[in-house]
Structure 1
């Protein structure tokens, strides 16, 4: 099979080609303005994005990991809880764990649901206690955790004060019922890494909230902790800004988010239609946005070699649980003995290409390879 027959996991040049005229117009206008940080484009995109999600405040930051760190700092400070534990899943790539340790907090890992690989509602509620400082809910792979059910369970247990941070880095535009991911918790975070459902052409992130005090705390943290220029009002701030060019690009792509999510869902639907007993594609819920097409496969190495022979790239999201990373072995953490589903799944996960700029021929090539694997 020739190189041009291969199906890549993603091809960002196609995205650029599709929106080249609009992107170049807005980028050129931004550059000509001479205002490249903290300007009108950032304000415009922040307003448009917060309107889409359904919250009042949006603070643009340098990346999604900073967003998580700032969001945790804001809710823990404002909640004034005495706990230091942060409940989270261990299978989401390590970003929430990093944010936790950088805030001198302790990750408390909980198990996931087999069919979705999302944090289990009951697992979260079982772990919640007076020691819990916050809960991070990661809407992994474009699926959506039922945050409303977690809120109801916390209230029933007398723990309604525990703040919920939504990590929406893989869930731009996802919904549960009529509610948009990012509007369900006390505060939410997004990454605009280029391969996201809404991606920039560089790094970028955002923190969203309907609590003005939380948003204001994040604004201070992302600009050195300033309360006013050159006057530090809170500790542990840094420089974490999204530049105007990235905001301009994101504002161009934002109106197409819904359409592109539908294209992702359609591609994943075609894959599911050929999966039988050897492959199990994850189910993220009715409002999921198919950030990735992830399957559980018993013989992953053989499957990846099989797909490569047929010109289809694959990837693993993610190959190591947070609690098993060698570099983090000496850091404080809890819940590592109660992750049966997470541990049983981590060696079976495999992603195949799923992005809106795939051609019909490429999708069919992946489907044929999947069907052939199933028939063996």
Structure 2
């Protein structure tokens, strides 16, 4: 079976350095925070070009803590997309606010800015666009709408570390396109820890300070708590040390993902609908996602032929049993249709060309091409 991702290959490629990093931390006796975490935050700040990086325990925590640090809370509404991992919506609710869902662009699967006006109310406080699959959302239009109406922007950049927004000005990294951003470092991400991890970026010293307080029990100094309802959301030194080994390889890994995407594009042209890259986007292909009305049959066929694949995501948020009060079925048709049609192919930087050809060949055989 050709797996959709191969974390064992990644580890073997960096085994010596990772083992040394883990041994260094174990010998240090410092396991929570400390110099490894501080160094990782500085290195992420340099890579992303953002002045403030706050590491936390997960991507979900990054979103929730960032919202609270931005001042979003009970009585507020946050506009977002239903076609995302559920953590996007969970974070809004954990902050005490109400998610308001708008439909997606069927080409990019990202939030469609033309729908923002219909979701605006007196309670709207922020917009939470998702850079889905590694492609930035249309931030020029989203930023213009937010500025016009005095709204905050929190980027869900969980899948987009290294993605860039190229709009004729200087290219900007995802994570620098709003008031703050939340990133995931879950093991399967383009930059992944060996456990849960995440971080927040912001250019605002006030948001950064508030996020650090909330992530550590509302405390700036030990046993002195100045914010209520804080979190235990600290990155441990082992994860930081492992991530520091991986970070210097991220650009080359993302470049390989883009190369694999081009090979898929060429091999599947005029066979099936392949991912659309927006003109402004430097897509880093966290997922390479096809769409076809024959999705379920294609998934089964690929499995029978030794090719892994996965559905991201089979249900939009408003059709999940826990969230059916957010919007009625049929009200977000593009998200609902995408959930029936999307299928992600194997995508990771250690995917061999021979395996790429096998994947392409299997998809082509299914469609009789």
Shorter-chain TM-score above 0.5:
yes
Determine if the alignment matches structure 1 residue 22 to structure 2 residue 44: no
| TM superposition shift of 1:100 | 1.0
Determine if the alignment matches structure 1 residue 292 to structure 2 residue 287: yes
Distance in 2 of aligned mates of 1:323 and 1:174? 28
1:114-129 aligned at under 5 Å gives the runs: 114-129=106-121
- TM-score when normalising by structure 1: 0.92
Can you list the C-alpha shifts for 1:14-53, whole angstroms capped at 9, x where unaligned?
0000011111112211221111111001000101101211
Residue 155 of structure 2: which of 142, 166, 190 is its match?
Answer: 166
Partner of residue 370, structure 1:
363
> What residue ranges of structure 1 are gaps of 5+ in the alignment?
1-5
1:59-208 aligned at under 5 Å gives the runs: 59-77=54-72, 84-155=76-147, 158-159=148-149, 161-177=150-166, 178-208=171-201
Determine if the alignment matches structure 1 residue 345 to structure 2 residue 338: yes
SS at match of 1:280: coil
SS at match of 1:302: helix
Distance in 1 of aligned mates of 2:277 and 2:334? 16
Partner of residue 234, structure 2:
241
Distance in 1 of aligned mates of 2:323 and 2:359? 37
User: Comparing 115-124 with 146-155, which one deviates more in the overlay?
Assistant: 146-155
| TM superposition shift of 1:130 | 3.1
Partner of residue 222, structure 2:
229
Matched residue pairs, number? 363
Residue 7 of structure 1: which of 2, 9, 19 is its match?
Answer: 2
> What residue ranges of structure 2 are gaps of 5+ in the alignment?
none
User: Comparing 203-212 with 301-310, which one deviates more in the overlay?
Assistant: 301-310
User: Comparing 133-142 with 280-289, which one deviates more in the overlay?
Assistant: 280-289
| TM superposition shift of 1:260 | 0.4
Q: Is the 1:271–1:370 Cα contact (8 Å) retained in structure 2?
A: no
Q: Is the 1:61–1:207 Cα contact (8 Å) retained in structure 2?
A: yes
SS at match of 1:22: helix
| TM superposition shift of 1:229 | 1.5
Partner of residue 244, structure 2:
251
Distance in 2 of aligned mates of 1:26 and 1:315? 32
Can you list the C-alpha shifts for 1:279-307, whole angstroms capped at 9, x where unaligned?
21222434010000111011112111211
Partner of residue 3, structure 1:
none
Distance in 2 of aligned mates of 1:28 and 1:244? 11
| TM superposition shift of 1:371 | 2.0
SS at match of 1:189: strand
